[in-house]
Amino acid sequence: YAAKARENLSDTKTLTPPPPLPMDADAVVVLGGDGTLLSVARQVADRDIPIVGVNLGGLGFLTEISREHCFQDLDRVLSGAYDIEERMRLRVALERQGREVFVQTVLNDAVINKGALARIVDLDTHIDGRYLTHYRADGLIVATPTGSTAYNLSAGGPIVYPTAQAVILTPICPFALSNRPIILPASSRIQVQLDDKAQDVTLTCDGQVGQRLAPNDTIAVVMSPHSLKLIKPASTDYFDILRTKLKWGQT
C-alpha cells in the first residue's frame, strides 16, 4: 500500500526505511529494538508470517528476547516451545476529496498532530457514524492495545493488555480538561476530520511514516483484518516487562 501511495503523494516521509523482505519466509527474526519490529510488521502487512523480536539494546515491549538469552530462546522457539500471540492492528486510511490517497497498517498507533508553530488543531470525530466530539488539542492518538504503552502512555492514556480487543482514543494536550482518553470496541469505525483552515498538521503511522495533511482531510481507522502473529518464547511475561519498563515495585 505504502509504496503505491507514495507515488501519488510528494509529502510522505518515511522516517525509517523498511528493509526488504523475502516472499517465502516462514518466520522473521527481528534483531533490533521495538522500532525495527514496527517497521518489519508494516512490511508483512497482509501476509501471515509470524515475527519474533530479539532486543539488542535494553528491553522492549515488542522485542521480548534479550541479547543474553538470544540463542537459548531461539533454540526453544525452533524446537516448538513457543506461543503465537495475535496482536490486533489498525488500518489507517487518509481520505481526500472522497478518495483514499494513503493507507497504512499499524501495530502501535496513528497520530494526528500539529506542527511546532501551529497553535492548535481542530478535529471533528465520529464513531460508527455518530458524532463523538470536537477536539481542540495538540493532536489525537488512535492506538491499539499494543501501542498503549508507546506514545499513548506519555499523553496520559491507560495501559491496555495487548491481547484485549479495543481501540484507544487519546487527545494530546486537549484544551478541554475533561477530554479524557476513551476506550472503544475493536469493531469501531473511527473518523477524524480536519477543519477547512487546518495547516501544518501531520499524520504519523507507528511513529515512522509521516504524511502531511490538507484542510478537510479525513482519517478513517478500522481494525485491520490482518493481525500480527508475534512469537512468544515460553519464558516471557507481559507483566514482568511492564514492571521493569515502568519501574514498578521498587520502593
Which residues participate in catalysis according to the annotation? Answer: 34
8 C-beta neighbours (distance < 10 Å), count = 10
Name the amino acid, one letter, at 200. D
Q: Shortest Cβ distance from residue 92 to a second copy (Å)? A: 16
* DSSP code at position 147: G
Single out the residue of 26, 48, 68, 248 in contact with a second copy (rule: CB under 8 A).
248
Are 5 and 103 in contact by the 8 Å Cβ rule? The answer is: yes
Q: Shortest Cβ distance from residue 247 to a second copy (Å)? A: 5
Q: CA angle, 38 as apex, 149 and 81 as ends, to 5°?
A: 85
Question: Would you count residue 60 as binding a second copy (CB under 8 A)?
Answer: no
For residue 95, with 0-12 CB atoms within 10 Å meaning exposed, 13-18 middle and 19 or more buried, which class applies? Answer: middle
Residues comprising the chain, all counted: 251
Q: Which grid cell sits at 207?
A: 511513529
- Residues that bind a second copy (rule: CB under 8 A) add up to a total of 65
Single out the residue of 38, 41, 93, 172 in contact with a second copy (rule: CB under 8 A).
172
Are 198 and 121 in contact by the 8 Å Cβ rule? The answer is: yes
Give the chain's radius of gyration (CA, Å): 18
**Helix (H/G/I), strand (E/B), else coil: 167:** strand
User: Interface with a second copy by CB under 8 A: which range of 25-33, 84-92, 97-105, 124-132?
Assistant: 124-132
**Helix (H/G/I), strand (E/B), else coil: 175:** coil
Are 163 and 94 in contact by the 8 Å Cβ rule? The answer is: no
User: Interface with a second copy by CB under 8 A: which range of 19-27, 78-86, 163-171, 227-235?
Assistant: 163-171
**All residues at 6 or more sequence positions from 241 whose CB lies less than 8 Å from its CB, including other chains:** 59, 61, 64
Single out the residue of 55, 63, 104, 113 in contact with a second copy (rule: CB under 8 A).
113
The contact mask relative to a second copy for 14-53 (x = CB under 8 A, - = no) is: -x--------------------------------------
Of residues 192-221, those binding a second copy (CB under 8 A):
200-202, 204, 207, 210
Single out the residue of 74, 101, 183, 241 in contact with a second copy (rule: CB under 8 A).
183
Single out the residue of 188, 191, 193, 218 in contact with a second copy (rule: CB under 8 A).
188
Of 193 and 204, nearer to a second copy (C-beta) is 204
* DSSP code at position 173: S
Q: Which of 251, 225, 197 is nearest to 91 (CA)?
A: 225
Q: Shortest Cβ distance from residue 26 to a second copy (Å)? A: 29
Q: Shortest Cβ distance from residue 109 to a second copy (Å)? A: 13
Residue in the structure block whose three cell numbers are 494536550: 173
Name the amino acid, one letter, at 205. C
Q: Shortest Cβ distance from residue 236 to a second copy (Å)? A: 12
Judged by the rule CB under 8 A, the positions of this chain that interact with a second copy are: 13, 15, 58, 113-117, 119, 127, 130-134, 137-138, 145, 148, 151, 153-161, 163-166, 168, 172-185, 188, 200-202, 204, 207, 210, 237, 239, 242-243, 246-251
